[in-house]
Chain A
Amino acid sequence: MLLSAVIFLPLLGAILIALARHILGESGLKWIALIITLLTFVVSLSLYSGFNADTHEMQFKEERTWIEGLGISYHLGIDGISLWLILLTTFMTPICVLAAWNSIEKGTSGFMISLLMLETAMLGVFCALDLFLFFVFWEAMLIPMYLLIGIWGGHRRIYATIKFVLYTMAGSALMLVGILYLYFQNDNSFNLMTLHGRTLSHQNLLFLAFFIAFAIKVPLFPFHTWLPDAHVEAPTVGSVILAGVLLKMGTYGIVRFCMPLFPEGVAAYTPLIVTLSVIGIIYGALVAMVQPDLKKLVAYSSVSHLGFVVLGLFALNHHGVQGGILQMINHGLSTGALFLLVGMIYERRHTRMIADFGGLSKQMPIFAVFFMIATLSSIGLPGLNGFVGEFMILLGGFMSDSFSKVYAIIAATGVILAAVYMLWMFQRVMFGKLDNPKNQTLTDLSLREIVVLVPIVVFIVWIGVYPKPFLSRMEKSVDQVLQQSRSTAAVKAAAPAIVLDTTTREAKKIDE
């Protein structure tokens, strides 16, 4: 019941706000949203404390028949991979509520309802073990996000939000076909867990159907052009959720579906995917470098960072996959913080153009400290979270059996480029003379804004200094995914019959 509670608490909050909309004032609604999201976070912490790190099996499982005739069930469960994404979601949402406290000028109730519904949908995606249920949550996420960008966004919000939805839908359509095909191969069931034991046919096509949907969400080069538009037009909180959590639905999907279910597809497409990731890393960084708009710069840096994540996953070894998953969290924290910070100066100056700023350190010293930490985290400075992820990804890539070292070596130049574009941006915004009169009256961060940022900084430092608690809980699950993604390769390599026997038996054990 715990998972259901975590997933649906925000929805309950949304209903509460809808009902109380006319009774309570704006601030009352905001307090409801804050309390509910904080409560969700607290409840989700019991997932952390109750989590057993010694097994790869799904935990906190819930299974109920939903639509019996179609083999659809309400089936939830988490492992060491989804655990972190759930915690990231429940952690970021109250921060977003607090960040949006004064910046929403119209329709506070609608905004908070959308945000809470979005949280439910995202959590559902990370918990669902039934393909149909997964797809429902996956698509449900689109609606509140569509509203968040389309109503509370910038000038070109309609273009951006439609582009976002259509892009995602195009991928989803392919995935739906894939899901249906899996349904027939799975004895007319949408149960994800019973799929693991099977040797599926047409794995390459199925892999592509799922992978394209996820690659759009990640976004992997060249499917990324919706991202800069969506980020620029989205309200601050929309960008934070988008970068912090939504993008990870793509990489999560790859780990949860593409890698364990379609090992043949993994083997066939790894060279292509890794090439695209490396292009994304370099290309994203170079394009980020020349952006005049702060939000676009951070958006393109996401393309680069998520390229690292995908590279790590397809290294198909322990270091790479663990690093990739850790980097999903890291990117959520550091890029989330960057979007929050950009939002904070946007609220004050109503511009995001780098050229409009300069010398802010003098006027906003507290802001400067937080901005510096987020920047350094994004650069991957040792001692902060980004380094641990990048190091493990690149180490995994360098040692990978599935592709050449050259990929990791080229990707590692992204580390240099990250320093170039981030520090150059930082210099132009924060350093220099404070000569623009509009900047001379800026006020430093308020207590509320500091409260928004401090929790993120705590985790940025914690993961950087002591990543073990984060890594050790995902270890078994990562091993399991790796074993599944390699199984056919192993079958082909070694004495066929015996190995097949043992792997299927092990896979069956997982289901039970």
Chain B
Amino acid sequence: MSKDLITLLLISPLIGFLINGLFGKWLKNVSGWIASLAVLIPFIISAFFVFPAVRGGGELKAMLYEWIPIESLNIGFHVDALTTVMLLVITGVGFLIHIYSIGYMSHDSGRARYFAYLNLFVFAMLILVLGNNYLMMFIGWEGVGLCSYLLIGFWFDRKSATDAGKKAFIVNRIGDFGFLLGMFTLFAAFGTLNFDQVFGLAETNTYEQVFGASTLIVATLLLFIGAVGKSAQIPLYVWLPDAMEGPTPVSALIHAATMVTAGVYMVARSSILFNLAHTGVVVAWIGVLTALFAATMALAANDIKRVLAYSTVSQLGYMFVGVGVGAYASGIFHLMTHAFFKGLMFLTAGSVMHALSDELDMRKMGGLRSKLPITYWTFLIGALAIAGFPLLSGFWSKDEILHNAWDSGHQIIFGIGLLTAFLTAFYMFRLIFVVFHGESRVDSEVESHLHESPPVMWIPLVLLAIPSLIIGAIVGWGGEHSAIHNFLKGVTGFVAHHGKAEHSNPVPFMIISSIVGIAGILVAWFIYRSKTPVSEPTNPLHKLLANKYYVDEIYNAVIVQPIRGVSHYLFWKIMDVGIIDGLVNLTAFIIRGIGGSIRRLQTGVVQAYVVSMVIGIIIFLGYYLFIR
């Protein structure tokens, strides 16, 4: 029974993909509804069957079929509380974004293809979280990467879009290289990639020491390289801002709510390994540095989606701080609240673009509050949530992460996290004031057909705004004894606090977080409530931020161009054509030359043959008669 239902849950989006992929040409107007239904079915199964079944710490497991006849490389699933949180986020937020897309993409002639890709993405994401082993996680992992590639480059006649798609795929592949080696290390050590077996053997310390005593350290760090790629952390974050070339609902679903959080899911899933290897501290540091770094870039961005993209990178950093310091449930909690409010903000940004004929530059907006009231209010809720405004969803999850960082003895991480929280509130409200308040700077041509989005688009906004407001309080109230912690206890209950067994009082932390968040909002209000953002940066720091620290340029100059140049000149022209093929042709030339000179002996003149014959006879006779 459970096996059939989970199989249905899994293949439903696959069927949606096949229908839209094969027959999309004839389905134009219904393709969106088919795709939405294909995601609604798994949501219903997750909410009304899976959720109650795993609530008391239950697990659903089944093997579907043997994939490679190597020890336990099977296709099977493993559903526990952690998976269920992911399932609800993927299918719940995913369903709303599908519905929103019906309106957003209604004028696009390629919408059947769009919905096919979107369903394929959901299918791959479900494989990623349902799998009972690392290999299956990897299959989903690369599958979502493919869909991300296809959807970023959805408008394939734009070079910037296809460049961004390719960049996303390749940068992710660099991360996947680490994931792959991590899997090999685990397989060499444990002889299996099955979660239950790997974790069981790791806890009892019965495994092959592939890299001596640091086997687990190496394995977890390699896996984490995969997470760094997929979840856009330093140094592999560069693909995510560019990924905004895709349709905006894609940014909401893939590049905010679900796919990019896969790395956090992976670390949480491997919590036992990270605890044993004590590598969480690396995770936390990468996370907090990324959080700060990305937030500073968001300060100077003028593209509304790029601000949100940097913000996503930054918030993912928070999640890694959470799972890195051992507060796995808090990290997953933030993953969930972030899916709601960031998904919401991307969709509202899409709504703004929809109203302004795809304008992205904040400097050409302003004063939209009265024209787009629903968009404004829902965006405001999202921004307050991410800024950590008291009692909204982001407040709870972010506060928990910072609190746990402090309690686990990482005061510096706590400090950087707090600074980032201030910057987050600041850049978000900079965006709000510049886009929605002040004077309108919209082109008069565009302004004439300014309109609020249709219901198919604003209803999902409202449905995402509600959890952004209240979900944090509902599941996060009570700290260690809150609903989310109780729910996730079985999976991530083991919290590795270094030395400190007791939790400090959460209330001071909540107060500090609130003050920092509100301060950020106020500073933004003070600076941007009426001011128009400058068009070109003048001071060097601003310039550095606006140019994203020149990281893309540095990567291009240090990695991309040298490899291309060396391949073209040294390897192809000199090595291959010059030396290797040159030697081959030289051999042929020499043999032909020898043949050519020997050929001269065959003159065809009988007298010459007779002369050489006589000389030969004389030599042989002379040798036998006189020398021997």
In the bound complex, CA of A337 to CA of B374 (Å): 51
On whether the beta carbons of B143 and A383 are closer than 8 Å, the reply is yes
Counting contact residues on chain A (CB < 8 A from B), the size range is 35 or more
Q: Is the interface of A mostly helix, strand, loop or mixed?
A: helix
| B139 touches A (CB below 8 Å) | yes
Cβ of A412: which chain B residues have Cβ within 8 Å of it?
A: 177, 180-181
Task: State which of A73-81, A415-423, A481-489 sits at the interface with chain B.
Answer: A415-423
| A427 touches B (CB below 8 Å) | yes
Min CB distance A468 to B, Å, is: 6
* A318-340 interface bits toward B, Cβ cutoff 8 Å, 1 = contact, 0 = none: 11000000000000000000000
Cβ of A399: which chain B residues have Cβ within 8 Å of it?
A: 184, 187-188
Within 8 A of A (CB), among B135-184: 135, 138-139, 141-143, 146, 149, 153, 156-157, 159, 162-163, 166, 169-170, 173-174, 176-177, 180-181, 184
A415 interface neighbour in B65, B173, B576, Cβ under 8 Å: B173
Within 8 A of B (CB), among A174-218: none
* Known interface pairs A289-B567, A290-B564, A399-B188; A433-B180 also in contact (CB < 8 Å): no
B181 interface neighbour in A388, A409, A423, Cβ under 8 Å: A409
On whether the beta carbons of A431 and B156 are closer than 8 Å, the reply is yes
Min CB distance A370 to B, Å, is: 13
Task: State which of B291-299, B397-405, B580-588 sits at the interface with chain A.
Answer: B580-588
Min CB distance A96 to B, Å, is: 27
| B566 touches A (CB below 8 Å) | yes
On whether the beta carbons of A432 and B159 are closer than 8 Å, the reply is yes
| B508 touches A (CB below 8 Å) | no
On whether the beta carbons of A319 and B70 are closer than 8 Å, the reply is yes
* A290-305 interface bits toward B, Cβ cutoff 8 Å, 1 = contact, 0 = none: 1100000000000000
On whether the beta carbons of A430 and B69 are closer than 8 Å, the reply is no
Min CB distance B184 to A, Å, is: 4
* B19-39 interface bits toward A, Cβ cutoff 8 Å, 1 = contact, 0 = none: 000000000000000000000
Cβ of B142: which chain A residues have Cβ within 8 Å of it?
A: 381-383, 387
Min CB distance B419 to A, Å, is: 35
Min CB distance B256 to A, Å, is: 24
A225 interface neighbour in B563, B567, B576, Cβ under 8 Å: B576
| A392 touches B (CB below 8 Å) | yes
In the bound complex, CA of A416 to CA of B236 (Å): 14
On whether the beta carbons of A432 and B68 are closer than 8 Å, the reply is no
A416 interface neighbour in B174, B584, B588, Cβ under 8 Å: B174
| B526 touches A (CB below 8 Å) | no
Min CB distance B484 to A, Å, is: 32
Cβ of B69: which chain A residues have Cβ within 8 Å of it?
A: 468, 471-472, 475
Question: Taking each of A382, A383, A427, which has the highest tally of chain B beta carbons within 10 Å of its own beta carbon?
Answer: A382
Name B176's closest neighbour in chain A (CB-CB).
A415
* Known interface pairs A394-B180, A412-B177, A432-B162; A423-B169 also in contact (CB < 8 Å): yes
Cβ of A362: which chain B residues have Cβ within 8 Å of it?
A: 156-157
In the bound complex, CA of A472 to CA of B173 (Å): 30
| B66 touches A (CB below 8 Å) | yes
In the bound complex, CA of A126 to CA of B170 (Å): 38
Min CB distance B186 to A, Å, is: 11
Task: Tell me how many residues of B have a C-beta within 8 Å of chain A.
Answer: 46
* Known interface pairs A423-B166, A467-B68; A225-B143 also in contact (CB < 8 Å): no
Cβ of A319: which chain B residues have Cβ within 8 Å of it?
A: 70
Name A464's closest neighbour in chain B (CB-CB).
B139
Question: Taking each of A319, A362, A394, A398, which has the highest tally of chain B beta carbons within 10 Å of its own beta carbon?
Answer: A398
* Known interface pairs A399-B187, A431-B162, A472-B69; A381-B146 also in contact (CB < 8 Å): yes
| B494 touches A (CB below 8 Å) | no
Min CB distance A354 to B, Å, is: 14
In the bound complex, CA of A424 to CA of B149 (Å): 12
Within 8 A of A (CB), among B535-591: 563-564, 566-568, 571-572, 575-576, 580-581, 584, 588
* Known interface pairs A382-B139, A431-B156; A290-B568 also in contact (CB < 8 Å): yes
In the bound complex, CA of A476 to CA of B565 (Å): 47
Name B70's closest neighbour in chain A (CB-CB).
A319
Name A408's closest neighbour in chain B (CB-CB).
B184
Within 8 A of B (CB), among A341-395: 359, 361-362, 376, 381-383, 387-388, 391-392, 394-395
Min CB distance A460 to B, Å, is: 14
| B609 touches A (CB below 8 Å) | no
In the bound complex, CA of A302 to CA of B567 (Å): 17
Min CB distance B236 to A, Å, is: 12
| B49 touches A (CB below 8 Å) | no
In the bound complex, CA of A471 to CA of B176 (Å): 25
| A434 touches B (CB below 8 Å) | yes
On whether the beta carbons of B157 and A287 are closer than 8 Å, the reply is no
Min CB distance B325 to A, Å, is: 30
Min CB distance B490 to A, Å, is: 29
Cβ of A376: which chain B residues have Cβ within 8 Å of it?
A: 146
* Known interface pairs A413-B177, A416-B174, A471-B69; A290-B184 also in contact (CB < 8 Å): no
* A155-175 interface bits toward B, Cβ cutoff 8 Å, 1 = contact, 0 = none: 000000001001100000000
Cβ of B571: which chain A residues have Cβ within 8 Å of it?
A: 283, 286-287, 290
Cβ of A286: which chain B residues have Cβ within 8 Å of it?
A: 563, 566-567, 571
In the bound complex, CA of A413 to CA of B163 (Å): 21
Min CB distance A424 to B, Å, is: 7
In the bound complex, CA of A433 to CA of B159 (Å): 8
| A28 touches B (CB below 8 Å) | no
In the bound complex, CA of A382 to CA of B65 (Å): 16
* A266-291 interface bits toward B, Cβ cutoff 8 Å, 1 = contact, 0 = none: 00000000000000000100110111
On whether the beta carbons of B68 and A471 are closer than 8 Å, the reply is yes
Cβ of B181: which chain A residues have Cβ within 8 Å of it?
A: 398, 409, 412
In the bound complex, CA of A424 to CA of B169 (Å): 11
Cβ of A361: which chain B residues have Cβ within 8 Å of it?
A: 156
On whether the beta carbons of B157 and A415 are closer than 8 Å, the reply is no
Cβ of A475: which chain B residues have Cβ within 8 Å of it?
A: 69
Cβ of A381: which chain B residues have Cβ within 8 Å of it?
A: 142-143, 146
On whether the beta carbons of A392 and B68 are closer than 8 Å, the reply is yes
A431 interface neighbour in B157, B184, B564, Cβ under 8 Å: B157
On whether the beta carbons of B157 and A433 are closer than 8 Å, the reply is yes
| A31 touches B (CB below 8 Å) | no
* Known interface pairs A287-B572, A399-B188, A427-B162; A432-B156 also in contact (CB < 8 Å): yes
* Known interface pairs A289-B564, A427-B166, A431-B156; A225-B146 also in contact (CB < 8 Å): no
Cβ of B572: which chain A residues have Cβ within 8 Å of it?
A: 287, 290-291
On whether the beta carbons of A467 and B180 are closer than 8 Å, the reply is no
Name A228's closest neighbour in chain B (CB-CB).
B576
| A222 touches B (CB below 8 Å) | yes
Question: Taking each of A388, A391, A434, which has the highest tally of chain B beta carbons within 10 Å of its own beta carbon?
Answer: A391
| A66 touches B (CB below 8 Å) | no
On whether the beta carbons of A468 and B67 are closer than 8 Å, the reply is yes
Cβ of A359: which chain B residues have Cβ within 8 Å of it?
A: 156-157
On whether the beta carbons of B170 and A416 are closer than 8 Å, the reply is yes
B68 interface neighbour in A167, A388, A398, A427, Cβ under 8 Å: A388
In the bound complex, CA of A87 to CA of B70 (Å): 24
Cβ of B567: which chain A residues have Cβ within 8 Å of it?
A: 286-287, 289-290
A395 interface neighbour in B166, B184, B580, Cβ under 8 Å: B184
Cβ of B149: which chain A residues have Cβ within 8 Å of it?
A: 423
* Chain B contact residues, CB within 8 Å of chain A: 65-70, 135, 138-139, 141-143, 146, 149, 153, 156-157, 159, 162-163, 166, 169-170, 173-174, 176-177, 180-181, 184-185, 187-188, 563-564, 566-568, 571-572, 575-576, 580-581, 584, 588
A sample of 8 more A-B contacts (CB under 8 A), given A387-B142, A431-B153, A433-B157, is A289-B563, A289-B564, A359-B156, A415-B177, A420-B170, A423-B169, A427-B153, A468-B69
23 contacts between A and B (CB under 8 A): A225-B584, A283-B571, A286-B567, A287-B567, A290-B564, A290-B567, A359-B156, A359-B157, A361-B156, A381-B142, A382-B138, A391-B135, A392-B70, A394-B180, A398-B184, A399-B184, A399-B188, A413-B177, A424-B166, A432-B162, A467-B67, A468-B65, A471-B68
Which 4 A-B pairs rank lowest in CB-CB distance, beginning with the nearest?
A: A286-B567, A382-B139, A398-B184, A290-B568
